[in-house]
Amino acid sequence: MLNVAKFGGTSVANFAAMQNCANIVKDNANTKVVVVSASAGVTNLLVDIAHTAMTTEQTSAKIAQISDIQFAILHALKDPQEVSDKLTELLDSLKELALHEELLHRPDLKDALLSHGERLSSLLFSAVLKQNGLSASNFDVRKILRTDSEYGQAAPQLSEIKQAAQCLMLPELAKSVLVTQGFIGSDEHGNTTTLGRGGSDFTAALLAEALDAATCEIWTDVIGVYTTDPRITSAAKPLPELSFEEAAEMATFGAKVLHPATMEPALRQNIKVFVGSSKEPEKGGTWIVRDCKSEPAYRAITRRKDQVMVTVKTPKMMFAQGFLQKVFTIIAQHKLSVDLVTTSEISVSFTLDNPPNSVLQRLNRETIEELSQFCDVLMEDNYDLVTVVGNNMHSAAGVSSKIFTAISDYNLRMICYGANPHNMSFLVGNGDSTDVVKVLHKALFE
């Protein structure tokens, strides 16, 4: 009946928020593994340090902001002495990396730096749990969360993780609640890696899988998964239940409440996933399960920002066999994933994720350079991808016409429909996407 509980950045932002999480852990005797994100804002500060050329003073100011957040939590503890040395040690190692001359050019150092957010918050949260009378210890997830060496976007190595978790983590669970870090791992050389932004949800699901857990709880700042991001429209409604497939589509297509890969381990092991608010646990939340009571045509609308549309063109395409294969081989070599594709006689357009300051952005640039060697390449950004998630969308009459009628005033740059029964996606200008989501939400859910 093991439960893995994950608390996101706002849930561990300060002492009061951590205290809410401690109550949630106390309330469920099955919660033996706790995964935490960095305190809210800390990873963003670390990303700034890792990606921007700054003066020593600027870097020190960012570090001071991080220290303030963490020391405020430390000072609220009844017995700060217990963890203060370790906290200082972590902050010293953070400083050393932040001022490292090669930081901007070394992805391995960037990941080592980024890992400090989760290492700090997990140290503090284990102290908060102890203060609440629980037997708890801080567990370094890097001992078990083996990944490849793709810094910034590392892929987990499932069989190694399972073996290490069963060996090193499982026996400990009889003694205490283990508080561990989301988002980080280590490669075969022992170097620290990260799973990509928002990766702590993924860590929780991976640990749940490796430990054969029955449930995985994602505690965040909203009372479940909504019909759309409640920050886009206040008309969004929380969903009591979702299927694994629907949740996976939503996560892939931009519902930030779940990291895109979170549902993969859950699906493989049939682990029920709960999403709820650590501030208001009494309000319930969303259960994500294999078999849902209902299969509505429209379940939710998501938006993924920062898309780039790439058009490759060669006058020779009509005759050149293997052109598409060449294009997609290059994309695959860079481990990029394509969502939307359209083809004509002499050109192919496709979309890629292009979030600023990310590994993907660098890979996109390298991809474009390689493609340019054998065709004309046009790269257009400032697009967002809007997706309607539902069931049997390709086979039910009228499903698409309702959607198209609602958004007929907007310019849809690309459309993907029919390849998958669970979604329909459009590429729209980023200036239009908020309105497109609002208008669609009104037509489909209000």
252 interacts with, out of ligand ADP, Mg ion, ligand ASP, none, CB within 5 to 8 A per kind: none
Please give the Cα distance from 185 to 203 (Å, whole number). 9
- The stretch among 152-160, 215-223, 266-274, 341-349 that binds ligand ADP (CB under 6 A) is 215-223
3 state SS of 322:
coil
DSSP 8-state secondary structure symbol assigned to residue 12 = G
**Are the CB atoms for 271 and 216 separated by under 8 Å?**
yes
Interaction of residue 260 with Mg ion, rule CB under 5 A: no
Name residues whose C-beta falls within 8 Å of residue 209's C-beta, 6 or more positions apart in sequence: 158, 162, 265, 266, 268, 269, 271
Q: Which stretch binds ligand ADP (CB under 6 A): 91-99, 170-178, 221-229, 371-379?
A: 221-229
Nearer to ligand ASP, 59 or 220 (CB): 220
Number of residues counted as binding Mg ion (CB under 5 A):
2
Q: Which of 107, 117, 224, 260 binds ligand ASP (CB under 6 A)?
A: 117
Q: Which does 10 bind (CB under 5 to 8 A by kind): Mg ion, ligand ASP, ligand ADP, none?
A: ligand ADP
- Of 152, 182, 196, 198, the one binding Mg ion (CB under 5 A) is 198
Q: Does 255 bind ligand ADP (CB under 6 A)?
A: yes
Q: Which of residues 199-238 bind ligand ASP (CB under 6 A)?
A: 199-200
d(CA 421, CA 374): 35
Residue 199 contact among ligand ADP, Mg ion, ligand ASP, none, beta carbon within 5 to 8 Å by kind:
ligand ASP
Q: Compute the distance between CA of residue 73 and CA of residue 50 in angstroms, rounded to an integer.
A: 24
Q: Which residue has the tokens 């995964």?
A: 35
117 makes contact with Mg ion (CB under 5 A): no
| DSSP letters for 423-440 | EEEEEEETTTHHHHHHHH
Say how many CA atoms lie within 13 Å of 208 toward its Cβ.
Answer: 36
Q: Is 118 annotated as a binding residue?
A: yes
Tell whether residue 229 is a contact of ligand ADP (CB under 6 A).
yes
Cβ neighbours for 125, distance < 8 A, ≥ 6 positions apart: 7, 12, 18, 21, 22, 34, 36, 179
Residue type, 63: I
Q: Please tell me whether residue 220 binds ligand ADP under the rule CB under 6 A.
A: yes
Which one among 7, 125, 151, 183 touches ligand ASP, defined by CB under 6 A? Answer: 183
The residue (of 243 and 358) whose beta carbon lies closer to ligand ASP is 358
Q: Which of residues 18-57 bind ligand ASP (CB under 6 A)?
A: 37-38, 43
Contacts of 253 (CB under 8 A, 6+ apart): 302, 303, 304, 339, 385, 387, 389, 423, 425
Distances, alpha carbon 192 to alpha carbons 63, 107, 136, 181, 188, in Å: 20, 10, 24, 12, 10
DSSP 167: I
Question: Is 9 labeled as ligand-binding?
Answer: yes
Contact 238, 226 (CB under 8 A): yes
How many CA atoms does the CB half-sphere of 139 hold within 13 Å? 28
Out of 142, 146, 256, 304, the only residue in the binding site for ligand ADP (CB under 6 A) is 256
**Interior angle at CA 279, CA 275 and CA 282, nearest 5:** 70
Nearer to ligand ASP, 117 or 224 (CB): 117
- What is the three-class DSSP state of 188? coil
Angstrom distance (rounded) from CA 104 to CA 53: 7
Q: Which one of 139-147, 218-226, 382-390, 397-405 is the stretch in contact with ligand ADP (CB under 6 A)? A: 218-226
Give the one entry of ligand ASP, ligand ADP, Mg ion, none that residue 226 binds, where binding means its C-beta sits below a cut-off of 5 to 8 angstroms depending on kind.
ligand ADP
Binding of residue 63 to ligand ADP (CB under 6 A) = no
Q: Which residues bind ligand ADP (CB under 6 A)?
A: 8-11, 37, 198, 220-222, 225-226, 228-231, 255-257, 300
Q: Which residues bind ligand ASP (CB under 6 A)?
A: 8-9, 37-38, 43, 117, 182-183, 197-200
Known binding-site residue numbers: 6-9, 43, 118, 220-221, 226, 231, 256-257
Q: Which residues are annotated as a binding site for ATP?
A: 6-9, 220-221, 226, 231, 256-257
Chain positions contacting Mg ion, by CB under 5 A = 8, 198
